Structure 1
Amino acid sequence: MPAFERRALLAALAGAVLPCPALAQAAWPRRPVRLLVPYAPGGGTDVFTRALAEGLRPLLGQPVLVENRAGANGVVGSEVVARAEPDGSLFLVDTGSHTLNPYVMPALPYDTARDFTPVALLSRYPMLLAVSTAAPFADVPGLVAAARTAPRSIGFGTSDAAISYAGNLFTRLAGIEMVEVAYRGAAPMLNDLIAGHLPTSWNSTVAALPHLQAGRIRAFGVTTKERSALLPDVPSLAEAGVPGYEFAGWYGMLGPAGLPAPIAEAMSAAIHQALRDPGLRDKLLRIGADLNPLDPAGFTALRQEEDARWSRAAREGLIVRAQ
């Protein structure tokens, strides 16, 4: 980005926060900005966030650091942000599991609606059913047949609540019983899949694509209604033999409750600007991201829609609260 454009954007960001009394003495950000990923390094959320951080650094004029705090389906890292000062120095980058967790966790140390400020929807993405190269089945019908022959003999790996839902929706619609194996992040799950210790798993395309391209794992189907342009030879799961299957994940950014609206708007503007950069955009599109970000208001509306979806799914028995 030319120097004059960078100065113009920084001026706009500074101007956006000056009307806020708490920021009347200085522009945001005045110090490094931290993006907290509540999952293990190497997974899809981590890969996406580190790429985004590279794009944000020249726009914000401060270091943008990525931290990982894995554990409890994203709850450990989310609590850190919920308890943080709302000064624009710490943000959470989470998946759709953030809105699902209240319906699957026995208790949360925060309120997902009250204790966070929506900043931006970053990306939607398809998920996929990934299979070990050592597994004996060749496609979805083969997997379903094997699971029907020997119920609860085949495991499927998951790494967060939304991915757990994707796997359990598959077993429900296919009419089979499998065993869910929960991991702290996509990276350790993929390691076991590659090594042949885990027969199947559910992953974001962002996390799985490098391993698919290297031939270390196989893809049996994507979760979206249509095929992914990134994986045109991989059928949708509905095509592959599970009628009615449709689901997609997302990445979003949130701040602590009380984050001043001008900071949320300024960060959202920087995200939109970063995702328009051809280099960053191409990099993220090549790993399966769908880059149509939403501003704080749009992301708030999406979170409300998601909450209604999970409430309905819980009533219908499609998700089960952990004990």
Structure 2
Amino acid sequence: MKTHPRPLARLATALALFATVAASPPAAAQAYPSKPISVVIQYPVGGPSDALARLLAPRLQAALGQPLVIEARVGAGGNIGTDFVAKAKPDGYTLLLSSSGPLAISPWLYPKLPYRPLKDLVPVVQLAAVPLVLEVNDANPARSAAEFLRLLKANPGKYSFGSSGNGTPQHLSAVLLGSMTGVALTHVPYKGQAPMATDLMGGQIDFAIDSMVSAMPNLATGRLRALAVTGRQRSPLLPGVPTMEEAGVPGYEALAWYGLMAPAGTPRAIVERLNEATRQALDTPAVREQIARLGSAPVHGTPERFGAFIQAEHDKWGPIVKSTGAVVD
């Protein structure tokens, strides 16, 4: 049987072209990034998301060769900024530095949430996992968490707590405390941590369970006083402060965590490039030291690992929200 050289030549050319393409990174990743990247934070400047964004921005800029512009889109417990990124063009130029509230808690709190966390967004990398701290201002008569819990129980409905907004870990952590101790509490939501801390120091609210990232400066000056931490272990930053469990609330645990997300449909090669650059930044001694000072153990990992963690947190907080009846219209 006679073979025709022309079809064979065409086949050989096609196979060579396929091999070249398969061995080369996709064109989107090769060209990315070619312009500045916007990193959206959901809370006002001065909070933990802002602190993490500003810590990572210069390292990512050096690794990627383009400026990172930090953009605050605040409101609705972080849902406004999250929705903005969920609807952005999936080209790697609009990213979200998010926290646990909008990704794992808001779906349970908001009946008409305009985005689906793990369908409209893709995980890039986890950045930090921080215990929270129960804090009061210096004028509060309670000098220990046990004493403060006795005050709460003796005065149901009298005490108010502040948070960075509806659906945030700070909000749900205090709701969880009220549920586990059987105490009615009044929630006062703010548009971010900074205005909440200002009112707490001024006595407009009675207490807060705040992220250690943002609480440490005011605790260090003595303007606020730490009574308990929300992790299972005491924090190296506050070794003299008991856990909530040690203070008399068995089984209590709550963490605030942060991570980088991108719009669904962002090319996998771009997600991997961002993941690799961010992991390298997180592994530098200077960044590790700074994040440790914020109260977080080192974390990062693959996009898949972060996605599984978000799903687990979503599943954890759902029953808590349902059992407390906490809903935001």
**TM-score normalised to structure 2 length:** 0.88
Q: 2:147 aligns with which of 132, 139, 142?
A: 142
Give, in whole Å, the separation in 1 of the partners of 2:325 and 2:98. 20
Contact 1:224–1:246 under 8 Å retained in 2? yes
Matches within 5 A, 1:183-222: 183-222=190-229
- Pick aligned residue for 1:108 from 86, 107, 113: 113
Q: Percent identity?
A: 36
Q: Which residue of 2 aligns with 1:322?
A: 328
* Cα deviation, residue 58, structure 1: 1.1
User: What is the 5 A alignment of 1:225-304?
Assistant: 225-304=232-311
Q: Unaligned stretches of 5+ in structure 2?
A: 1-20
Which residue of structure 2 lines up, in the alignment, with residue 133 of structure 1? 138
Give 1:125 deviation, angstroms. 0.8
Amino acid at match of 2:195: P
Aligned in 2, Cα 1:270/1:196: closer, same or farther, shift over 3 Å?
same
Match of 2:43 in 1: 39
Which residue in 2 is equivalent to 1:4? none
Does structure 2 retain, via aligned residues, the 8 Å contact 1:18–1:27? no
Q: Is the 8 A contact 1:17 1:262 kept in 2?
A: no
Tell me how far apart the structure 2 counterparts of residues 310 and 280 of structure 1 sit (CA, whole Å): 30
1:19 to 25, 34, 39: 25
- Secondary structure (helix, strand or coil) at the match of 1:107 reads coil
Runs of 4+ in structure 1 off by over 4 angstroms are 15-18
Aligned length: 306
> Equivalent residue of 1:124, what SS?
strand
- Name the SS of the counterpart of 2:327 in structure 1: coil
C-alpha displacement at 1:175, in angstroms? 2.0
TM-fit CA distance, 1:20: 2.7
AA partner of residue 322 (structure 1): V
Secondary structure at the counterpart of residue 211 of structure 1 = helix
Aligned-residue Cα RMSD (Å) equals 1.9
Kept in 2, the 8 Å contact 1:69–1:76? The answer is yes
The verdict on how the C-alpha distance between 1:16 and 1:80 changes in structure 2, with shifts beyond 3 A counting, is: farther
Instruction: Choose 1 or 2 for highest CA Rg.
Output: 2
Match of residue 3 from structure 1: none
CA contact (8 A) 1:133 1:196 kept: no
Most deviating of 126-135 and 300-309 = 300-309
> Which segment is superposed worse, 120-129 or 134-143?
134-143
Q: 2:135 corresponds to which letter in structure 1? A: A
- Do the aligned residues in 1 keep the contact of 2:128 with 2:291 (CA within 8 Å)? no
Aligned to 1:10: none
8 Å Cα contact 2:176/2:320 also seen in 1: no
Residue segments in structure 1 that go unaligned for 5+ positions in a row? 1-14
CA contact (8 A) 1:17 1:263 kept: no
Provide closer, same or farther for how the CA distance between residues 19 and 233 of structure 1 changes in structure 2, counting only shifts above 3 A.
same
Q: CA deviation at 1:220?
A: 0.6
Give the counterpart of 1:60 among 41, 64, 72: 64
